Amino acid sequence: MNNKTKETLIGVGTAVAVSAAAYFLFSDKTQNKGKAMMNRHKAKTFVKDKLKGNKKAMAVVDQLSDEEISRLLATVERVGGSDGKLTEQKDKLKDATADAKETLMDKTETVKDKFSH
């Protein structure tokens, strides 16, 4: 092969590689497909981590559409993000319950004292 043929082949190969890369980078369909694949992987990882790899849950994830997977992940993120708030509310509820119980016990003692004398 002479140098001219090698240069032509290298040029054509480079042009094909650049065109393919541009297609994959800029094609909406390709980007959406990649995002859908990543979301499905996230959903499966969630099932493995949080649901201990439950086979039925994994089968359900396999049957969901890309839109359903997106909605599932959005819900998980919303609920997961409120974890700290939920713990805070639970602590407040425990404190309020303890205060109410203490007040009730004090009133009970007061009533007992009034009736015993």
Distances (CA, A) of 69 to 27, 72, 99, 100: 22, 5, 44, 44
pLDDT one-digit tens code per residue, 73-103? 888 887 765 555 667 777 788 888 887 878 8
As a whole number, mean pLDDT of residues 21-44 equals 84
The pLDDT assigned to 86 comes to: 66
Does the structure show a pLDDT above 80 at 42? Answer: yes
pLDDT band at 40 (very low <50, low <70, confident <90, very high): very high
Is residue 39's pLDDT more than 70? yes
